[in-house]
Structure 1
Amino acid sequence: MIWFHSPSRAILAVRLLLSAVFLFYGSVKLLGGQYHYGDWTISKSTADGTSLVWAFYGYSPFYGRVTGLFEFLPAVMLLFRRTTFLGAAALFAVSLNITLMDFAFHYPFVKYLAATYTVLCAVLVLHDKPKLTAALHDPAADA
């Protein structure tokens, strides 16, 4: 594919993919979906890991929507070159948490997608190496 021979086009494709994924999931959470809200009874002996996590996050509708905001806002930032680094760094932290949770609670195949999104966020962060270096640089070390 000639289209991907240009690194900038590949990075743009990664930005757009991640933005679409996290805009979708963030929107679902902001609109009150994905988590189990309301009254429920759950037992560790009868509930699978996925149900346990959805019930936990749904225990507080406020918290459930905040998790959506933490996906939605950085996804919007990926749409603009000027804010890509900050959006990618924020989504790296969010997606790493999702990946760890998915593997720890034995989610089905989606855990591999989460891991892929985490790696792609890391690619975007590392692609902006000068910004990463500046963010980690200690000016006191130069003195």
Structure 2
Amino acid sequence: MIWTRPKSKAVLAVRLLVAAVFLAYGSVKLLGGQYHYGDWTISKSTVDGTSLVWAFYGYSPFYGRVTGLFEFIPAAMLLFRRTTFVGAAALFAVGLNITLMDFAFDYPFVKYLAACYTILCAVLVLHDKPKLTAVLRDPAADA
């Protein structure tokens, strides 16, 4: 019992950190920030990958807000123990997409932070190993 307390505190710290990060990013997107909305002209010879991605996602304000919801709602789920597994699993998928995009378009240092947050989401999912096993178990094998 004594050994589980530090582990529990570490998991709680990871949950709160990841929740704070994705709540912040999700809120910014929901409030209309981060992406380039409105009129713009793009030339591949004069625009960097980051600006191209922000303009592409900003082409549709609806899509920009939905990406915010996909970060905000699972992040809020991390604040409650009963929904941590589902929130972490959803944020793992979202974080993996963000990480791949950040590396593919050669974002600056933030790509390494995205990779770190994705790994932390994986840690949270793996921490709930019984739930993960239940999700991945083949019901036909139990029969």
Tell me the residue number matched to 2:96. Answer: 96
Alignment partner of 1:76 is 2:98 = no
In structure 2, list runs of 5 or more residues that go unmatched: none
Aligned structure 1 segments of 4 or more residues deviating by more than 6 angstroms: none
Identity between Structure 1 and Structure 2 (%): 87
Q: How many residues align?
A: 140
Per-residue deviation, 1:79: 0.1
Aligned partners of 2:51 and 2:13: how far apart in 1?
Answer: 33
**Amino acid in the other structure paired with 1:105:** F
SS in 2 for 1:103: helix
Cα shift at 1:141: 1.8
Q: Which letter maps to 1:75?
A: A
Once superposed, what is the RMSD of the aligned Cα atoms? Answer: 1.1
Q: Secondary structure at the match of 1:6?
A: helix
Cα distance per residue 1:36-76 (max 9 Å; x no partner): 00110001111100000000000000000000000000000
CA distance in 1 between counterparts of 2:132 and 2:44 reads 42
Residue identity matched to 2:60: S
1:30, CA displacement in angstroms?
A: 0.3
Which 5+ residue runs of structure 1 have no aligned equivalent? none
Distance (Å, rounded) in 2 between the aligned partners of 1:100 and 1:139 = 33
The secondary structure found in structure 1 opposite 2:20 is helix
* Counterpart residue number, 1:130: 130
**Match for 2:75: what amino acid?**
A
Q: What is the CA–CA distance in structure 2 between the aligned matches of 1:129 and 1:142, rounded to whole Å? A: 18
Distance 1:18 1:47 in 2: 31
The equivalences for 1:20-35 within 5 A come to 20-35=20-35
What TM-score results when the alignment is normalised by the length of structure 2? 0.96
Distance in 1, matches of 2:120 and 2:102, equals: 17
Partner Cα separation in structure 1 for residue 132 and residue 56 of structure 2: 34
Following the alignment from structure 1 to structure 2, what is the Cα–Cα distance between the partners of residues 44 and 72? Answer: 32
Cα distance in 1 for partners of 2:12, 2:43 equals 45
The 1-side partners of 2:142 and 2:106 are apart by: 47
Structure 1 partner of 2:105:
105
Q: Distance in 1 between the 2:102 and 2:47 partners?
A: 15
**Residue type of the partner of 1:89?**
A
In the superposition, the TM-score normalised over structure 1's length comes to 0.96
Aligned AA for 2:29?
K
Deviation, structure 1 residue 24? 0.2
